Structure 1
Amino acid sequence: MSLASSLPSKPSTMTKNLKLIIKAVLPTTALLLCLLVINRYQILNGFSILSGDGYDYVISTTLLEHWFNFFTGQANWSDVLYFYPYGRSIAQTDAYLLVGVAYLPFRWLGFDPFIASEFSGSLIKSVGFVSMLLLTRRKVGLSLYGSVLAATLFTMSNGMTLVSYRLQLATVAFAPLLTHLVWNAIESLLNSEIKNFKIYGVLSGILFGAWCLSCFYMAWFFCFFATVFFILLFFTADTTARTLFYDRVRQNKSAVVLVLISAMASLIPFIWAFLPKSREVGVRSYEMVLSNTIYPENILQTGPDNWLFGPIYLKLLGFLWPGYVQRGAYYNSGFSLPLFILFALACYLIISHWRKHRQDRVFFICVMTTLVTWGLALNLGGKSAWFFVYSLFPGAKALNAVGTFQIFLAFPVVLLAIRYLSRAKLPPVILFLLTALLLVSELNKPYLNFHRQQELDRVALKAKHPDTCRAFYVSGWKGQDTMIPEFPEWINNYYAHNVSAMLIAQRIRLPTVNGIASFNPPDWSFGHPNNPDYDQRVLTYAQRHQVVGLCKLRLNDKTWEVITP
């Protein structure tokens, strides 16, 4: 073979190698830049001030420290050492299991609990980025660039990053991963690839069960969305598709039963812990839930801390409705205007043309599911169709902050919007500018009010507790009424000492009767610790529950006192 005849293969080889490099470098670079942008404030201040405040962030870190103790063989998974001697206290709030798994390596590496908590959030977001990338690349059929953009927008979603200190909500990152697993399971069943069906089906069940033990809200939203999706898919399927599905199920009954049993088994820990607690503390009233549904103006409400659209939109609302006040606990979970417009265009085109393009039926169902479920959560003039969800859908009565559904909806909204953008034949310059606008629209300043060293000092003890101590309670902090000045006095007096007790309990592995959570025990009475009757309230509780070996920790000077009956 001559030298000349071999030359054409070199550019081809070089091109292939270049493509491989781009496939590896582009997503990795995008992910790193994404995490740097999200955490830019914390990086610039040397992680001295973190997102969140001294209450919610301490509670979430307490739960993560509990999982660290469990994984290192020092704790029972269902008892988190507060509200002692109540059992299954993991179910008083979200359980954070998957976040705890992400937290574990950073604690093993020696990072303090708050740094490890911050890094675990970044690891969870990385899972979401990679999962969205793979889903849109392999199932939706986007180009590499489109998939990277979708993954970046999903990870930087305004609604999530504004409340990034609520690490349980960050588990929305598992939505594309679970979708990918379920999609693979169904495809494998229809293609009679039963081994793969079993693998993907069992993994789907395990992930969903673990997700429920991490953040009930996000797992429930996924289940709610998926239920509506499959109902619509069933009723729009033709006879051939239904027959094929029925045949595959009949032919592989044992495999289907195995997957269903594994899914139910994966939910056992969640049901075992949470069902008795729901009966113990009761459920949300519909009146409470209604006030936290999604008001129409909140669809585009990105909040005042969104760089590009937040202040402009608030001024517009103030002009249109003088005296406008923000409504709903998560009023700022809305979408930027350019992303919403792309989503609306995607909905219009898919709905208009899906009968001509039958391969788009899955995306048509996705559009309809998004619109239907979003519409059910809307509050129109003080009325909401969420009443029917609250009354009929299992588990809905446990939800309060329905507005967080928009954090979940970032998943289908971004997916559909970028799918539309990837198919629009736009000039490269326009496409570049629009991509830049989409990315800048997600930039915001998170709620930064957690002073790390200050909080580490709060839970640092001078001496070990007395050997006779079997449980403890804490005093109030000096100046507790104004511990966090922007919070009202009653919140400071409910939270400040209780959250300190919770984290101290994890650090010294000694249970405390104190604590505060989404659902407190029915005889909880540990607020206002600087009132004269506080010690007597604690003693009455201890006697009622036959708590022995009770000690008191004075938070201000970190001294211990053995309480004698």
Structure 2
Amino acid sequence: MFNIASTKIDKSKISLKEVIVVSVIYLCVISFILRVQLETGFNILTGDRYDGLIENSLLEHWYNVFRGKSAWNIVGYFSPYPNTLGYNDGYFLYGLIASFFRFSGIDIFLSAELVNIVLRTIGYYSFYALCRRCIGLKPFLAITGASIFTLNNNLVLQSGHAQLLSVALSPLLTLLLYRYMLFLTSGNSRKKAILYGSASGILLGSWLLSTFYMAWFFIFFTMILTIFIVLISYWEKRRHNESFIRPSFNAYEIIIPAIVTLLSFLPFLIVYLQSAKKVGVHHFGEVLSYTPRLTNLLNPGDTNFLFGKLSQHYFSIFPPNFQLGGEFMVGFPPVILIVSLVSLIYFFKNSAFTIESVLIRSLLLAVILSLLLMIKFGNHTLWKLVWELVPGAKGMRVTARYALFLNFPITVLVVYFLGKVARYKYKGLTIILACLLIMEQINLGRSQWLNRQEQLNFIKQAEEPPPSCRSFFVSGQRLDESLNKKDDATYNVYAHNVDAMLLSEIFALRTINGFSTFNPSDWDFGFQPHETYISRVDNYINKHHIQTGLCEYDLYTSRWHTHTGISTLPLKVQ
């Protein structure tokens, strides 16, 4: 329909000075993000006692896979069910990176934190490259965009869900897709078109197997964007009475990347389609309860550096049923919203028919439609159409997380608009806006609650399981925690199950325990009421006929025992 190769791209070489400046700013950004870790000598890490350890167990699963100790699609928990990787995000790319650190001798918890750092590094530099090479922005604005994207106010308080950090892959995949379209439509290099198209498919397939939410959001947004590009191009061609340009490309440049992409999707499809049949999907009533109101999207949070006090004052007047905390802390700071609104007016007022204008207007409309789709008005939302019609939508519960992804295209729009403003001799205003846009992304909240040394001690005091053990379950709770949290409902559901998940990967031994996004239909391993816990375990054991080789690990004493169904007896480790 149009030739993407006709766009103007900054092809100038990046100087050493530019590399140094970009890297210095990156170090400032990442140091702020990691301030708690740096202050504690990397003893307090991203995540918490529950979700943090679940992630660690899944990363360790991939380490076991690469060591030949586990099947790739069967994690340690929910024994004897097969294909258990599909009960949660797969964390494949995370595990691949973490395994590099684990093979280097770094402990399981620090390796997980280093994965987060690697992802943020990829996000920062790929966003910078996107701004410089694809959009043609000057270094100052490219740094501004990369800083806004990496600091990301509305992601700070959600970083305990480490899978959401994979939004950092968005600019990298966009770069690959852009290069693919560039070579595809220009006809200059068939090999490069095939290379970039195949690389895009491999990354997207790996992303889906790693963190479903952000990968699906990328696909969904790209679908909306593509529709608008086609519609606006068609409209403008008709309005200007121009004929359509047929790009010159070979069929192999589409067929080969398509085949590679399909093959890359197969592991994801094998795992998650089977899991969906077993455990079902999220009901819309549950999805609706996690759909944000406009209020949520306008609330930058009371720990925002510039607007925290204002937010605390204003949003405190809303009733509790507006759910302003938790998963709903996804609001955008005001300056980026105002600049986005001004850019909307500017780009539609100045609408000359060029490939550049088509792309930017399509991007604006895709963002607007995305926001309209995800907002809840009373108990009604257009997201129901998405949930019913778009494949994969029923696998997601927290619609509010789409706002975390939308920070990416919104930031692209804003820095592109600033580039336009700077061309009209408003350089001073551009600098002021850029500084405000970066500063308002600074959030003083934290999501670092996982005590590394405590968790290392927990692993160290666990003795090796007896050779006769084929699987196990846990009984009791950690001695140093249980006395203070015996009446904590969340603790009594999560803690012992999460401990079992972690130990199952440490010892490469499957456990019947576990807790995930989806649990098996016969899962009944909450600790309370503790008087019936063992009998519920026995019911599960008898149903699945796994009495042989089943061991019991007592979290209270850190010892292995035989299981009789009535009491625990010491089991000597050979």
Same fold per superposition (TM over 0.5): yes
Aligned to 2:512: 513
Between 532-541 and 86-95, report the one with greater CA deviation.
532-541
C-alpha distance after superposition, 1:392-411 (max 9, x if no partner): 00111111101010110010
Cα–Cα, structure 1 residues 323 and 504, in superposed 2: closer, same or farther, change >3 Å?
closer
Query: Is 1:133 the counterpart of 2:128 in the alignment?
Result: yes
Q: Where do 1:178-189 residues align within 5 Å?
A: 178-189=173-184
Query: Is 1:74 the counterpart of 2:75 in the alignment?
Result: no
Aligned to 1:443: 442
Identity %: 31
Q: Where do 1:21-420 residues align within 5 Å?
A: 21-192=16-187, 193-238=189-234, 243-245=244-246, 248=248, 252-319=250-317, 321=318, 325-327=322-324, 329-355=326-352, 359-420=356-417
Instruction: Describe the SS at the equivalent of 1:188.
Output: helix
Aligned to 2:539: 540
Cα–Cα, structure 1 residues 322 and 169, in superposed 2: closer, same or farther, change >3 Å?
closer
Instruction: Describe the SS at the equivalent of 2:450.
Output: strand
Check conservation: 1:303, 1:331, Cα contact below 8 A: no
Cα–Cα, structure 1 residues 200 and 488, in superposed 2: closer, same or farther, change >3 Å?
farther
Check conservation: 2:120, 2:150, Cα contact below 8 A: yes
Check conservation: 1:68, 1:103, Cα contact below 8 A: yes
- The residue type paired with residue 221 of structure 2 is F
Deviation at residue 490 of structure 1 after TM alignment: 2.1
- The residue type paired with residue 158 of structure 1 is N
Deviation at residue 295 of structure 1 after TM alignment: 0.7
Check conservation: 1:181, 1:204, Cα contact below 8 A: yes
CA distance in 2 between counterparts of 1:457 and 1:564 reads 29
Deviation at residue 356 of structure 1 after TM alignment: 5.6
Cα–Cα, structure 1 residues 503 and 225, in superposed 2: closer, same or farther, change >3 Å?
same
Cα–Cα, structure 1 residues 484 and 198, in superposed 2: closer, same or farther, change >3 Å?
farther
Deviation at residue 529 of structure 1 after TM alignment: 5.7
Check conservation: 1:466, 1:562, Cα contact below 8 A: no
CA distance in 2 between counterparts of 1:32 and 1:73 reads 37
Between 451-460 and 341-350, report the one with greater CA deviation.
451-460
C-alpha distance after superposition, 1:100-133 (max 9, x if no partner): 1221222223222111111110101111111111
Unpaired stretches in structure 2, ≥5 consecutive residues? 1-11, 566-574
CA distance in 1 between counterparts of 2:388 and 2:80 reads 33
Check conservation: 1:459, 1:500, Cα contact below 8 A: no
Check conservation: 1:295, 1:327, Cα contact below 8 A: no
C-alpha distance after superposition, 1:521-563 (max 9, x if no partner): 1110111166122112112211211212000001121111122
CA distance in 2 between counterparts of 1:397 and 1:306 reads 32
Cα–Cα, structure 1 residues 404 and 176, in superposed 2: closer, same or farther, change >3 Å?
same
Deviation at residue 435 of structure 1 after TM alignment: 2.9
Q: Where do 1:411-430 residues align within 5 Å?
A: 411-425=408-422, 430=429
Deviation at residue 363 of structure 1 after TM alignment: 0.8
CA distance in 2 between counterparts of 1:228 and 1:433 reads 33
- The residue type paired with residue 421 of structure 1 is L
- The residue type paired with residue 144 of structure 2 is L
CA distance in 2 between counterparts of 1:442 and 1:328 reads 18
Check conservation: 2:120, 2:165, Cα contact below 8 A: yes
Deviation at residue 201 of structure 1 after TM alignment: 0.9
Unpaired stretches in structure 1, ≥5 consecutive residues? 1-15
Deviation at residue 154 of structure 1 after TM alignment: 0.4
C-alpha distance after superposition, 1:58-115 (max 9, x if no partner): 0001111111111222221111111011111111110111111221222223222111
Instruction: Describe the SS at the equivalent of 1:369.
Output: helix
Aligned to 1:9: none
CA distance in 1 between counterparts of 2:324 and 2:15 reads 49
Deviation at residue 438 of structure 1 after TM alignment: 2.1
Check conservation: 1:551, 1:562, Cα contact below 8 A: yes
Aligned to 1:503: 502
Instruction: Describe the SS at the equivalent of 1:540.
Output: helix
Deviation at residue 355 of structure 1 after TM alignment: 3.2
CA distance in 1 between counterparts of 2:451 and 2:140 reads 39
CA distance in 2 between counterparts of 1:551 and 1:489 reads 27
CA distance in 1 between counterparts of 2:274 and 2:326 reads 27
Check conservation: 1:476, 1:530, Cα contact below 8 A: no
Between 325-334 and 83-92, report the one with greater CA deviation.
325-334
Between 470-479 and 180-189, report the one with greater CA deviation.
470-479
Check conservation: 1:91, 1:273, Cα contact below 8 A: yes
Check conservation: 1:480, 1:492, Cα contact below 8 A: no
CA distance in 1 between counterparts of 2:483 and 2:146 reads 39
Between 447-456 and 287-296, report the one with greater CA deviation.
447-456
Deviation at residue 166 of structure 1 after TM alignment: 1.6
Cα–Cα, structure 1 residues 434 and 229, in superposed 2: closer, same or farther, change >3 Å?
closer
Deviation at residue 144 of structure 1 after TM alignment: 1.1
Cα–Cα, structure 1 residues 462 and 504, in superposed 2: closer, same or farther, change >3 Å?
closer
Deviation at residue 306 of structure 1 after TM alignment: 2.0
- The residue type paired with residue 146 of structure 1 is L
CA distance in 2 between counterparts of 1:134 and 1:173 reads 13
CA distance in 1 between counterparts of 2:541 and 2:355 reads 66
Between 233-242 and 128-137, report the one with greater CA deviation.
233-242
CA distance in 2 between counterparts of 1:177 and 1:483 reads 48
- The residue type paired with residue 316 of structure 2 is G
Aligned to 2:452: 452
Cα–Cα, structure 1 residues 457 and 483, in superposed 2: closer, same or farther, change >3 Å?
farther
CA distance in 2 between counterparts of 1:25 and 1:415 reads 23
Aligned to 2:5: none
CA distance in 1 between counterparts of 2:272 and 2:483 reads 32
Check conservation: 1:481, 1:490, Cα contact below 8 A: no
Deviation at residue 468 of structure 1 after TM alignment: 1.1
CA distance in 1 between counterparts of 2:94 and 2:514 reads 21
Instruction: Describe the SS at the equivalent of 1:142.
Output: coil
Aligned to 2:569: none
Instruction: Describe the SS at the equivalent of 1:139.
Output: helix
- Aligned residue pairs total 544
Instruction: Describe the SS at the equivalent of 2:511.
Output: coil
